[in-house]
Structure 1
Amino acid sequence: MSCTDEEKVELAAYHLRDQAVTWWDMQKTIFGEQHITWLMFRDAFERQYFPATFCLARRQEFLNLKQGDCSVLEYNAEFSRLAEFYPQLVAQDYDRMHQFTKGLAAYIRIRISGFPGSSYQEVLDRALFIEMTQQQITQEKGQDKQSSQKRGNKGQSSQTTTGGSSRPQKAGRTSDGASRPPQHDWKKDRIGSRWHESRDCTLKAQLEATKATS
């Protein structure tokens, strides 16, 4: 907005509320008849509501700012808020870009270091893209893990079903409801009868040989 100093002061004073209105009325009496510039208003306002100790604390917070568990957008919003308390540190776009990059998450910094940006906005866009790509990879890995777990559960259930089929057969029931004995294994009987027949033949041959000798 193309405003004069007087218009800037009037516009700022119009938005004051509650105790700030009382403060400004008192401040105007201190200024007296002199022309109040925007710089005079801002200095007086910051001394009242942003004391030196508060500004120093915010500056230190800005220097130590890290992305941590926040998203890139959340980190950028906090970065812009705290940068207002240390304007001389980020006055140049290169300095702002460098300070912003220092606080990014490690995996983003590593990928950006291979292709350094030329402006703050370029680094911000690249960081957002890297974050989005990483989220997609994590989501795909989670889906693959769930699929492998489902396949493993199906394999276990099929093995359990196959193992249960070897249990001995229970007696069933006929159509009229009467109990039906389990099926007889005739194969075993045939094998057993052959063994008995061969054994009887052997004994018979031994007896005949003994009689002939006597």
Structure 2
Amino acid sequence: MGTTDPFLAKGWIRSLELQFKLLDMKDGDRVKCTAYMLRDDASLWWEIAAHGLNLATLTWDQFKEAFYGKYFPADVRGRLTREFMSLRQGDSSMAEFMRKFDRGCHFVLIIARHAAQNLRHFMDGLRLTLRRDVMLMRPASYDEATPCAFQAEHALRDIDFEMQQKQHQAQSSSQP
């Protein structure tokens, strides 16, 4: 529909590609189907963009290049890549950190496609206390590290809760 949200644009293309794969669609049919599905501002954009293209030979990859040029431009992809490369958990929960990490993997495929780099980048982004605990579990992959990180986060919450209980008991017993 012409949204300016790059994640929606990329997600829409990704969902179309899953359908195209299921339907075993040819390149040219993918372009025609997608052009038919465009609405509102996106439909207006395509009317103009299509004039500069040879629709008879336009491939799906060429269509995506034009589409991403409009709705997911290189400067946005670059910014998201930089954000991913400097991603740190900080005060975020593991669930929030993993959501950002998984989303970022779509923009930095060189890390996402190499298991060792993916694991290292994930570990580097973890809060130090969690990283230490996860490293002790020696995960061999990102998929092995994530449940370890959730366990470590849960254990730290339990420790914090226990410490607060002890402080509360100590304060209660010291009052006259």
2:140 matches 1:118:
yes
Give me the CA root mean square deviation.
2.0
Match of 1:44 among 43, 60, 66: 66
Q: Which stretch shows the higher mean deviation, 133-142 or 33-42?
A: 33-42
* TM-score between both structures, scaled by the size of structure 1: 0.65
Percent identical residues = 28
Match of 1:72 among 94, 98, 113: 94
- For the pair shown, which has the larger CA radius of gyration, 1 or 2? 1
Q: Which stretch shows the higher mean deviation, 107-116 or 27-36?
A: 27-36
Unaligned segments of structure 1, at least 5 residues? 157-214
Which residue in the other structure is 2:14 paired with?
A: none
Where relative contact order (Cα < 8 A, 6+ residues apart) is larger, the structure is 2
Unaligned segments of structure 2, at least 5 residues? 1-18
Post-superposition shift, 1:141? 1.3
* TM-score between both structures, scaled by the size of structure 2: 0.77
Number of residue pairs matched by the alignment: 154
Distance in structure 1 (CA, Å) of the matches to 2:30 and 2:84: 28
Alignment partner of 1:31: what SS? coil
Post-superposition shift, 1:13? 4.1
Distance in structure 1 (CA, Å) of the matches to 2:162 and 2:91: 21
Superposed, which structure 2 residues align to 1:1-214 within 5 Å? 1=19, 2=22, 3-4=24-25, 5-10=27-32, 12-13=34-35, 16-153=38-175, 156=176
- Cα deviation digits, residues 140-199 of structure 1 (max 9, x gap): 11112112222222xx2xxxxxxxxxxxxxxxxxxxxxxxxxxxxxxxxxxxxxxxxxxx
Post-superposition shift, 1:69? 0.5
